[in-house]
Structures are given as C-alpha cells and as structure tokens.
C-alpha cells in the first residue's frame, strides 16, 4: 500500500481504496508527485493532472476498473507508453488514467498461422526481437518502436518508415480483446488467425480510434517472413527539389520501395551531430531508401532506383558496405527528432500528408511559411508515402516565438489540405489537431464518425475532448492556438 | 428491368441514379416512404447472404461510373462505385498500373460491389483485400446523408476509419458512392508453374517451403486437393530466380512440376472463376492457415460441379456443387441438415476456429440454412452499429450476419 500523506483529500483516499481493491495498492496512484508522470504524453506542451492512475495487470482487472470508473462517472483515458505526439493520452480534467504498462507479455507465437498474441504493454520492437531468430518480424515500425507499445500503436494506427510497402498497424492486427466502455470483455476479429471474421470490421474501427472505443487488452498480430534481401541506398541531392523529384520518379516508375525517407540540410546537420553517422554535410537533401524482397529482384530494382536518382540530379549515391553501416543509417533516421536538440533549444513536430508528386512544391511552401515567420524548419520524413514531418525550430525563451511556431505548424496543415492531403499521417488527431479535423471533414462526415464512436461509448466517457472539434475547444476559429498556462510560464515546452 | 432478385427475394422496383446527388435523393425518398431498399452494382454476388427481410426497391449504382481523380504518379485513383473493374483496368493500364483484386467477371463486377462484399481471389496472397487497398470512401447513409471517411493520400489516420467499416458490410450501412484506392504497377514479367502431388502431406510441405524459402508469389492456389499453381510476378530476373527455387521445392517434396503456358495459366484462372460463379451451391470454408482447409469440403456427399480451389496460405477453400448434389428434404432427413452437419464438422476439425460461409444456395434452402453461420461474439456491437446507421431497418436488412 502506498502511504498517503495526511493532507490527502479523504474522498481521494476513498477513491484510491476502491481501485486498490481491484489492482492492488501500489497500482492505484493518487499522490501528486507520482501523478506528475501521467500529466502528458509526448506532446509536452499540454499537462493535465488526472484524479487517479490505475495500472491493471489483466483483462479482468481492466474490466473491473472500467466498470468502477463508470459507476463513479469518471472520464477514462487509456495510456500506453506515453510516447504519442498528438496528446492522445493527455488526461481530461478529473479523469482516471488506465495505464497498460504492466500487461507486457508476449502470450503466444504461432508461426504456422503467422500470428502472435500479445498484451497491450508489449514494446513494438520486442515482438520482432522474439521472432527474429526464426526469420520472422512484425512489420509496423514507428520511429519510437524501441519504447512505444502495441496498445498505443493500435490506438493511433501507428505507421513508420516501412509502412510504405507493408501497411500500417491496422493491416497487421487480425484480432483484439476489447474491454468496452461499459466494462464488457469482447473478442473482435479473428480468434486464431482465420481470415475474414464474420460481420462488420470492428477491428478496423477500433484500430486508430485513439482510445475512444475501449481498452485493448490483447492483440493478435500478423507476423511476416523477413525478406530474403534488403538493399539500402543513401542518395544526396543539391536541394529538396531534386530529392522530391527523385521520389516522384521512383514511385511513378512503378517501383514499390520498402521505405524512402527524406532529410533536408538542417535535419542532416542535426542527425550527423547527434549520431555521428557518416553523411555528407555539403548537400541540400538526402534520401534513405530500402528496397527489399527476393534477392534477384532487389538487385534489379535498386539499380533502377539508383539510375532514377541520378536522372533527378543526385550528387552521390552510396550503398552501406555492411549490415552495421546499414543499421547506423537507420538509427540516424529514427533518432532524428531527438537530434533536433543539437541545433535548436525547442522544436515542434508536425505531421501531415500530401500526394507524393507534390513533395518539392509543398516543401517550398513550407520553407516560405518558415521564412515569413522568421523560423527555421527542418524536414525529416516518410517521403515514400508523402508523410511530412516538418520540425519547426524555435527558442521558447524568446517571447512570441513559440506561438509563432504553433501558427506555422497550423499553416503547414492547411497547405497539406490544399494539396488534397491529410492533417495526420501517423501521429493521430488527439488533443493537438482536433480543431483541424473540422477543416479536413464536413460536419456530416464528423457526425457519421461520432455515430460509430457512440456504438462503443454512448456516454462519451472514453478519451473525451479528443479528435472531434467542439465549439468549447475550438471556438469559431478552428486551429487558433491558445498557450497552456504552463507554457506561458516556461515550465514546459513541446517535444 | 423492373425487378431484380436479391438472395431469392424479388424487388418491386429498380432505380438507377446517374449522380451521387441523385443517389442521395433516391435514398432520402425511400426512407421518407419507409420502403426497404438494397444497393446492387454489377450483380455478380447477388446470391450472397440471407434473404432480405423486406425489399421494395433496388438502387443500382452502375450509372455512377466516372473516374473522379487519377494520380498515376501517386499510385492512387478515386472512382465512383459503379465503374466496372474492366473499365478500371483499362484506365489504369494506360499508365502501366492495375487494381489487383480478382473477381468472377470483370466486365460486370463494380468497385462498389467489390468493397461491399470484400471480394477476393488468388492474388490476395500478395495484395491483400480491399481492406488493404482502400484509402477513402464517400458513402450515402441510409438516411440519405453523404459522408466521407479516409482520404485520397496513401497514408492518413485522421478520424474514424469509415472505409474499413464499409468493406464487407454488404450494403447494410449505406451505399458506397465513390472510393479511393492505392493501385499497383503492372508486373513486367509473370510466370506460373503447376506442381502435382500424390500425397496431401507433400502439398502442405511444398506450400510451407515457398514461405520458408522466402519466395514471394503473387498467388498460390491449390486445385482439386493435389495441384498447386504458383504464380510469380515482378521483374524478369526476380521471377526467373523464384521459378528456379520453386522447381527445387517441387523436387524436394515429390511434386511433379510443370511450367504453365499463358494459355494454361488462363485456364486455371478460368477454373477459379468457375468455382466462384457456377453451381446452385457455392460455399467457402475458412480456417486458420495451418489447417488443411482444402480437405474439409470433401465431406459433402455429392460430386462437385467445379474443381475445388483453396488458398492454403490464407486458409480459404472454395467449393461449388450442382443443385441436385445436395437434395432437398427426403423422408427422415432434411436437406438443410446436411449443411449443418458439414458446418459442425468444419468447426470440430478446426478447434472451433473454422467456418462455412454459403455464397449461393438453391431457393428451397433459403431461409432454412443461414448463409453465414452463428454470429460472432462481438455481435451486440454490430447490431448497435446497424441500428445507429439504419434505425428503421430499411437498408438491405436481414441479408448479412445474424440478420443485420
């Protein structure tokens, strides 16, 4: 049992006691110091202290917590590893946060049926680690894959560099155990790897529903045979124009790469400084590409991609000399956001999608937005599927810069929409972008999505105040940025 | 045409809207008059499912046949739901691209129908189903309101995933008006081989070896329990290398291997279409991939009308029988009981994870045998979804799982 300070509100102590009866004393957290950890996720600029955090250890405990929360009218915010970048796990006022970090077992690996059964707290990369000795892997690979968990990946329908060829989380989840907002335990989708579960694709609805349909307590994931060969190429270009053109040529030629990642000069500078990867600094843009599949085909396709990069004006194209060098290049890419600390005191990650043919044009518009706001913008992103991640650099100590960075971030999303794209490719809407969802979708579209949501949660108690724009949160000027009090005091920054 | 028969039930009227706006108006009028309706595209899967509870008007989507937006450089296309796959193929081929879902009749099958029925064939092995290809959708809800979900770009997680919800919903949540898909390049080279085996164990070993050896076939289909047809598609060098490995696998597993000419390959595809199109009885057995799904259908007493086809790595087997292969009621035994026995048999041989879905049945059996089998454990949520979209139960009601 956690000892509560005498100053603790007796009602809170009672609340703690009731949940402690379900999950055990140390897993029902109400002390302000411990609650601090749960005030935000990877979107650091917003903090709300939940009333209580519980860490159940089983499906049954999750169901009991959900029922109790319902009885007490508590809003419920599910939480995985807290690495999300859209504030999806940001607590609501007076909410209970249900954290899944204790449910981290890989329950079953069934290679004959090419599935694995995992608990939601399993770290993404750990599935591949377990499968690798047999030559299998779990495909979705968000950059945070060494720390993020499957439950969070499911909530956000996480992507990653290699979803260009292999699809997103939703394409790799075949079945789920869901605790619905009324506390029922329901099995959705496939139970043992059989295809075509009967009825509506509720797995497809729950994946990406950002914690609004319940809590996933078990997932049946698809595992893939690792490809015979992976060829990595690193190509440098004078500017993003040529690099963007190379991406268009490669995709347009009918090649389906496993991944094409793009870094501009600022991003290269930060990555080289942070990781020591041996990339040239005297170029304007770099493409990191993977081509995978059967050996003979990969050789042929990589050669064609090489030629297409040269046609687009590549300065230099390298293939890593061994697996260690290949992994280092990818490590550099996956550490890119963190590397920004090398070149800027603060940065703000944006996530938007555009058609792949428009990369060069959109990057020019983004650069112009940065220039007019007096801010530098680095770009490191999934070029192969048009998923931009502009990093707006700023210094929170300079008054007005943070707000300016937020405004530029919003303008970038509007540029994505102008080109027929989306306001989020993989980070989710969460708290961060809900006001922009109303710019991407009509009132009727959103009402239809709400109709789907209420099938699961008629009381709108699960992750309320997320995804859907409301007049209270967005006013009549959607997207207008209001700094959180902690940001104004400089207590917190973003990312 | 003033009547169309859907799963054994004839409509009173047929209307064919020419635009999405007309489609929405039509649905609103039908709702206002409380007339039960159903959507039909090319009609190639019109036998699928249980008889609708009530049917007044068929709304045909075939006149919604425009290409809305095609961006070849982005490998995406947005089309209206009534466009035929043949027409879609023609448009995409101009830029060396394709829509890799297999249907029984590309001239008739429409994009909307493929989404609503989640139709697939042998190439699911590589390309998946509509769930893997669909990026966005516009629907007309059962109340006539137009709504979009997803988008036009290849990656997008904004909002609830309406496109996924529509795939395989059999038109019970509304009409699909248009959809955006990811498309694929036409392969430069395609080669196929047939591997014939004497023993079922060897078939399993060969199919497993294809995966173990890291080959990436476009399709892998088992005909008549004994002949595995493997197709490779891609670059010339890649296809050649994989064919060589496949011959090694055939040798190691006692298979008699033969490369197929383009004509022979087409004849196998013809047979796959036959088992999905012909016969008053057609059914699918679905099970986890490790189950030898191909052998489960032989439980039926009558002789098959078409060569049974299975996709061993997917866990799907297709069967077709003539109407008289399974007789209607005879003294002491009802016709329906034979299928119920088969259903139980499939369940018992698959640890309860296998299923029998009937794609077509003779009229005498309709209403006596459920096409889908018992509803899944999540059925309460599905019923609530249906009620949320179609509270009056007018939209293709009763045809889908558990009477949805």
From B187, which residue of chain A is nearest by alpha-carbon distance?
A254
Nearest to A202 among B147, B381, B389 (CB): B381
ipTM for the assembly? 0.97
CA distance B346 to chain A (A): 13
Q: How many CA atoms lie within 13 A of B207 on its CB side?
A: 33
Nearest to A195 among B156, B241, B314 (CB): B314
Collect all residues of chain A within an 8 Å Cβ-Cβ radius of residue B350.
194
The predicted pLDDT at position A490 comes to 36
User: What's the distance, CA A366 to chain centroid?
Assistant: 22
CB contact under 8 A, B354 and A194: yes
How far apart CA B199 and CA A442 sit, in angstroms, is 58
Residues across chain B: 404
Question: Sorting pLDDT into bands at 50, 70 and 90, what band is A491?
Answer: very low
pLDDT at A6 over 80: no
Residues A133, A138, A139, A145: is their CA dihedral positive or negative?
Answer: negative
How far apart CA B244 and CA A399 sit, in angstroms, is 67
Collect all residues of chain A within an 8 Å Cβ-Cβ radius of residue B314.
195
Asked if residue A103 lies in contact with residue A121, where contact means CB atoms within 8 angstroms, the answer is yes
Asked if residue B39 lies in contact with residue B394, where contact means CB atoms within 8 angstroms, the answer is no
- Mutation test of the interface with chain A: which of B124, B290, B381, choosing the one with the most A Cβ atoms within 10 A? B381
Taking only the tens place, the pLDDT of each residue in A222-255 is 999 999 999 999 999 999 999 999 999 999 898 9
Phi, psi of A76 (to 5 degrees): -115, 130
The predicted pLDDT at position A338 comes to 85
pLDDT at B295 over 90: no
Collect all residues of chain A within an 8 Å Cβ-Cβ radius of residue B96.
254
pLDDT at A283 over 50: yes
What average pLDDT does the segment A84-97 reach? 96
Nearest-10 crossing angle of helices B236-252, A295-311: 170
Asked if residue B207 lies in contact with residue B228, where contact means CB atoms within 8 angstroms, the answer is yes
CA distance A78 to chain B (A): 17
Asked if residue B61 lies in contact with residue B18, where contact means CB atoms within 8 angstroms, the answer is no
The predicted pLDDT at position A4 comes to 52
The predicted pLDDT at position B304 comes to 87
CB contact under 8 A, A353 and B156: yes
Asked if residue A4 lies in contact with residue A30, where contact means CB atoms within 8 angstroms, the answer is yes
pLDDT at A492 over 80: no
Collect all residues of chain A within an 8 Å Cβ-Cβ radius of residue B177.
none
Give the strand pairing for B97-98 and B5-6: unpaired
From B213, which residue of chain A is nearest by alpha-carbon distance?
A228
User: Kind and range of the H or E element at B28?
Assistant: helix B20-32
pLDDT at A475 over 50: yes
- Mutation test of the interface with chain A: which of B50, B68, B159, B403, choosing the one with the most A Cβ atoms within 10 A? B159
- Mutation test of the interface with chain B: which of A116, A160, A293, A294, choosing the one with the most B Cβ atoms within 10 A? A294
Query: What six digits make up the tokens of B335?
Result: 């016709």
The predicted pLDDT at position A7 comes to 63
Nearest to B372 among A198, A299, A445 (CB): A198
Question: pLDDT exceeding 90 applies to what percent of chain A?
Answer: 86
Those residues whose C-beta lies under 8 Å from the C-beta of residue B83, and which sit 6 or more positions away, are B64, B65, B66, B67, B110, B111
Nearest to B290 among A113, A168, A452 (CB): A113
Asked if residue A311 lies in contact with residue A249, where contact means CB atoms within 8 angstroms, the answer is yes
pLDDT at A8 over 80: no
User: Cα-atom radius of gyration of chain B, to the nearest Å?
Assistant: 22
Instruction: Look at phi and psi of residue B147 and say left if phi exceeds 0, alpha if psi is from -120 to 50, else beta.
Output: beta
From A426, which residue of chain B is nearest by alpha-carbon distance?
B157
Taking only the tens place, the pLDDT of each residue in A29-76 is 999 999 999 999 999 889 999 999 999 999 999 999 999 999 999 999
CB contact under 8 A, A198 and B373: yes
CB contact under 8 A, B71 and A248: no
How far apart CA B318 and CA B288 sit, in angstroms, is 15
Interface size between A and B, measured as CB pairs under 8 A = 262
Give the strand pairing for A52-54 and A96-99: parallel
For chain B, give the mean pLDDT.
Answer: 95
Helix boundaries (H) for B33-142: 85-93, 111-117, 124-127, 130-133
Collect all residues of chain A within an 8 Å Cβ-Cβ radius of residue B151.
353, 420-422, 440
From B376, which residue of chain A is nearest by alpha-carbon distance?
A198
CA distance A152 to chain B (A): 14
Single pTM value for the model: 0.95
Q: How many CA atoms lie within 13 A of A143 on its CB side?
A: 21
Taking only the tens place, the pLDDT of each residue in B152-205 is 999 999 999 999 999 999 999 999 999 999 999 999 999 999 999 999 999 999
Asked if residue A194 lies in contact with residue B288, where contact means CB atoms within 8 angstroms, the answer is yes
CA distance A210 to chain B (A): 9
pLDDT at A479 over 70: no
The predicted pLDDT at position A5 comes to 55
Looking at per-residue pLDDT, the higher value among B93 and A8 belongs to: B93
How far apart CA A434 and CA A216 sit, in angstroms, is 23
pLDDT at A483 over 50: no
Phi, psi of A234 (to 5 degrees): -120, 115
Collect all residues of chain B within an 8 Å Cβ-Cβ radius of residue A171.
128, 131-132
Asked if residue B325 lies in contact with residue B300, where contact means CB atoms within 8 angstroms, the answer is yes
CB contact under 8 A, B289 and A248: no
CB contact under 8 A, A385 and B385: no
How far apart CA B161 and CA A169 sit, in angstroms, is 13
Query: What six digits make up the tokens of A86?
Result: 């859209």
The predicted pLDDT at position B297 comes to 78
Nearest to B151 among A422, A429, A451 (CB): A422
Residues B270, B273, B279, B282: is their CA dihedral positive or negative?
Answer: positive
- Mutation test of the interface with chain B: which of A131, A180, A245, A448, choosing the one with the most B Cβ atoms within 10 A? A448
What average pLDDT does the segment B341-370 reach? 92
CA distance A490 to chain B (A): 31
Which domains occur in chain B, in start order?
5-61 (3.30.43.10), 67-185 (3.30.465.10), 189-260 (3.30.70.3450), 271-365 (3.30.70)
CB contact under 8 A, A449 and B162: yes
- Mutation test of the interface with chain A: which of B115, B378, B385, B391, choosing the one with the most A Cβ atoms within 10 A? B378
Collect all residues of chain B within an 8 Å Cβ-Cβ radius of residue A423.
158
Asked if residue A361 lies in contact with residue A334, where contact means CB atoms within 8 angstroms, the answer is no
Collect all residues of chain B within an 8 Å Cβ-Cβ radius of residue A441.
148, 158-159
pLDDT at B328 over 90: no
What average pLDDT does the segment A80-90 reach? 95
How far apart CA A457 and CA B164 sit, in angstroms, is 19
Nearest to B153 among A186, A251, A386 (CB): A386
Asked if residue A292 lies in contact with residue A230, where contact means CB atoms within 8 angstroms, the answer is yes
Please return the burial class of A178, using the count of CB atoms within 10 Å of its CB with bins 0-12, 13-18 and 19+.
Answer: buried
Using CA atoms, how far residue A93 sits from A27, A196, A430, B207, in Å, is 20, 40, 15, 55
Question: pLDDT exceeding 70 applies to what percent of chain A?
Answer: 94
Taking only the tens place, the pLDDT of each residue in B54-111 is 999 999 999 999 999 999 989 999 999 999 999 999 999 999 999 999 999 999 999 9
CA distance B350 to chain A (A): 10
Using CA atoms, how far residue A445 sits from A93, B150, B363, in Å, is 28, 10, 40
Collect all residues of chain A within an 8 Å Cβ-Cβ radius of residue B288.
113, 192-194
What average pLDDT does the segment B265-279 reach? 95
A173-177, A448-452, B324-328: which range is least confident on average? B324-328
For chain A, give the mean pLDDT.
Answer: 93
Nearest to B385 among A200, A251, A294 (CB): A200
Collect all residues of chain B within an 8 Å Cβ-Cβ radius of residue A244.
none
Helix boundaries (H) for B350-394: 379-389
pLDDT at A10 over 90: no
Nearest to B389 among A421, A426, A451 (CB): A451
pLDDT at A487 over 60: no
Nearest to B158 among A198, A201, A423 (CB): A423
Collect all residues of chain A within an 8 Å Cβ-Cβ radius of residue B118.
196
CB contact under 8 A, A452 and B185: no
CB contact under 8 A, B158 and A440: yes
Those residues whose C-beta lies under 8 Å from the C-beta of residue A481, and which sit 6 or more positions away, are A403, A406, A407, A410
Please return the burial class of B347, using the count of CB atoms within 10 Å of its CB with bins 0-12, 13-18 and 19+.
Answer: middle
End-to-end CA distance of chain A: 34
Collect all residues of chain A within an 8 Å Cβ-Cβ radius of residue B343.
none
Query: What six digits make up the tokens of A109?
Result: 């690996």
CA angle at residue B349 from B346 to B351, to 5 degrees? 105
Collect all residues of chain B within an 8 Å Cβ-Cβ radius of residue A170.
161, 164
Taking only the tens place, the pLDDT of each residue in A174-187 is 999 999 999 999 99
How far apart CA A24 and CA B363 sit, in angstroms, is 60
The predicted pLDDT at position A150 comes to 98
CA distance B227 to chain A (A): 21
Phi, psi of A209 (to 5 degrees): -85, 10
Asked if residue A214 lies in contact with residue A457, where contact means CB atoms within 8 angstroms, the answer is yes
Exposure string of B394-404, with b = 16+ CB inside 10 Å and e = fewer, is bbbbbbbbbbb
Residue with tokens 């799904």: B293
A374-388, B204-218, B310-324, B334-348: which range is least confident on average? B334-348
Question: Sorting pLDDT into bands at 50, 70 and 90, what band is B333?
Answer: confident
Question: pLDDT exceeding 90 applies to what percent of chain B?
Answer: 89
The predicted pLDDT at position A494 comes to 35
Residue B69 β-bridge partners: B78
CB contact under 8 A, A201 and B167: yes
CB contact under 8 A, A355 and B74: yes
CB contact under 8 A, A424 and B158: yes
CA distance B269 to chain A (A): 22
From A182, which residue of chain B is nearest by alpha-carbon distance?
B381
């Amino acid at each position: 049992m956690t000892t509560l300070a005498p100053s603790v509100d007796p009602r809170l102590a009672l609340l703690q006691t009731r949940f402690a009866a379900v999950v055990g004393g140390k897993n029902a957290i109400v002390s302000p110091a411990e609650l601090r950890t749960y005030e935000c996720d990877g979107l650091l600029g917003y903090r709300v202290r939940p009333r209580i955090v519980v860490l159940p250890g089983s499906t049954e405990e999750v169901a009991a917590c959900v029922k109790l929360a319902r009885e007490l009218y508590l809003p419920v915010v599910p939480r995985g590893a807290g690495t999300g970048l859209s504030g999806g796990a940001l607590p609501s006022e007076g909410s209970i946060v249900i954290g899944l970090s204790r449910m981290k077992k890989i329950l079953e690996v069934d290679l004959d049926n090419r599935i694995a059964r995992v608990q939601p707290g399993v770290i993404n990369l750990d599935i591949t680690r377990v499968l690798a000795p047999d030559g299998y892997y779990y495909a979705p690979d968000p950059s945070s894959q060494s720390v993020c968990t499957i439950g969070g990946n499911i909530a956000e329908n996480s992507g990653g560099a290699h979803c260009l060829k292999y699809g997103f989380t939703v394409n790799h989840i075949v079945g789920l155990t869901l605790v619905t907002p009324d506390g029922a335990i329901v099995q959705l989708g496939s139970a043992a790897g059989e295809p075509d579960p009967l009825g509506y694709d509720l797995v497809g609805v729950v994946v990406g529903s950002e914690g609004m349909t319940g809590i996933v307590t078990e997932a049946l994931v698809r595992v893939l045979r690792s490809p015979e060969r992976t060829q990595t190429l690193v190509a440098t270009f004078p500017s993003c124009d040529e690099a963007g053109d190379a991406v268009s040529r490669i995709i347009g030629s009918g090649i389906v790469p496993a991944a094409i990642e793009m870094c501009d000069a600022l991003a290269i500078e930060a990555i080289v400084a942070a990781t020591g990867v041996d990339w040239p600094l005297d170029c304007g843009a770099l493409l990191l590409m993977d081509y995978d599949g059967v050996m003979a085909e990969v050789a042929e396709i990589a050669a064609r991609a090489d030629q297409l990069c040269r046609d687009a004006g590549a300065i230099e194209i390298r293939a890593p000399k061994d697996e260690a060098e290949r992994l280092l290049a990818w490590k550099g890419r996956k550490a890119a956001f963190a590397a920004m600390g090398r070149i800027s005191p603060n940065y703000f990650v944006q996530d938007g999608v555009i058609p792949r043919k428009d990369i060069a044009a959109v990057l020019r518009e983004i650069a112009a937005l940065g220039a007019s706001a007096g801010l530098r913008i680095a770009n490191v992103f999934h070029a192969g599927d048009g998923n931009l991640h502009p990093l707006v650099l700023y210094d929170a100590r300079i008054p007005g810069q943070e707000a300016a960075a937020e405004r530029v971030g919003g303008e970038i999303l509007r540029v994505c929409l102008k080109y027929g794209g989306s306001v989020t490719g993989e980070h989710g809407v969460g708290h961060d972008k809900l006001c922009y969802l109303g710019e991407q979708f009509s009132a009727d579209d959103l009402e239809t999505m709400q109709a789907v949501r209420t099938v699961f949660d008629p009381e709108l108690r699960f992750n309320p105040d997320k995804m859907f724009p409301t007049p209270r949160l967005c006013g009549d000027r959607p997207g207008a940025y209001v700094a959180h009090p902690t940001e104004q005091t400089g207590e917190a920054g973003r990312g | 045409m003033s009547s169309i028969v859907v799963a054994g039930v004839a409509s009173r009227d047929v209307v064919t809207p020419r635009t999405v706006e007309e489609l929405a108006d039509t649905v609103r009028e039908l709702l206002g008059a409380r007339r039960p309706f159903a959507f039909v595209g090319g009609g190639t899967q019109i036998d699928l499912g249980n008889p609708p509870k009530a049917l007044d008007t068929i709304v045909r989507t075939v006149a919604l046949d425009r290409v809305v937006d095609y961006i070849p450089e982005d490998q995406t296309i947005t089309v209206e739901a009534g466009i035929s796959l043949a027409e879609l193929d023609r448009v995409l081929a101009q830029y060396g691209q394709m829509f890799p879902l297999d249907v029984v009749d590309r001239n008739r099958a429409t994009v909307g129908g493929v989404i609503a029925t989640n139709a697939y064939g042998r190439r699911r092995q590589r390309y998946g189903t509509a769930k893997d290809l669909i990026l966005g959708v516009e629907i007309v809800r059962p109340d006539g309101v137009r709504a979009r979900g997803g988008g036009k770009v290849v990656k997008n997680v904004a909002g609830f995933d309406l496109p996924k919800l529509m795939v395989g919903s059999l038109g019970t949540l509304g009409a699909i008006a248009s959809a955006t898909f990811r498309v694929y390049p036409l392969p430069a080279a395609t080669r196929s081989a047939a591997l014939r085996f004497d023993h079922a164990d060897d078939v399993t070993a060969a199919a497993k070896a294809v995966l173990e050896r890291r080959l990436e076939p476009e399709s892998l289909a088992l005909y008549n329990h004994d002949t595995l047809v493997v197709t490779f598609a891609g670059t010339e060098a890649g296809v050649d290398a994989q064919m060589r490995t496949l011959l090694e696998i055939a040798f190691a597993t006692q298979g008699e291997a033969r490369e197929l000419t383009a004509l022979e390959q087409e004849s196998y595809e013809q047979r796959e279409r036959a088992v999905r199109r012909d016969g008053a009885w057609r059914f699918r057995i679905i099970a986890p991939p490790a189950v030898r799904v191909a052998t489960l259908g032989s439980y039926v007493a009558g002789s098959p009308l078409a060569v049974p086809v299975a996709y061993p790595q997917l866990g799907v087997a297709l069967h077709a029988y003539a109407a008289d292969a399974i007789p209607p009621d005879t003294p002491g035994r009802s016709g329906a009981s034979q299928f119920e026995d088969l259903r139980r048999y499939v369940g018992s041989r698959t640890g309860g994870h296998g299923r029998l879905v009937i794609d077509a049945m003779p009229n005498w059996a309709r209403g006596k045998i459920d096409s889908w089998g018992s509803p899944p454990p999540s059925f309460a949520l599905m019923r609530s979804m249906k009620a949320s979209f179609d509270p009056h139960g007018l939209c293709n009601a009763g045809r889908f799982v558990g009477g949805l």
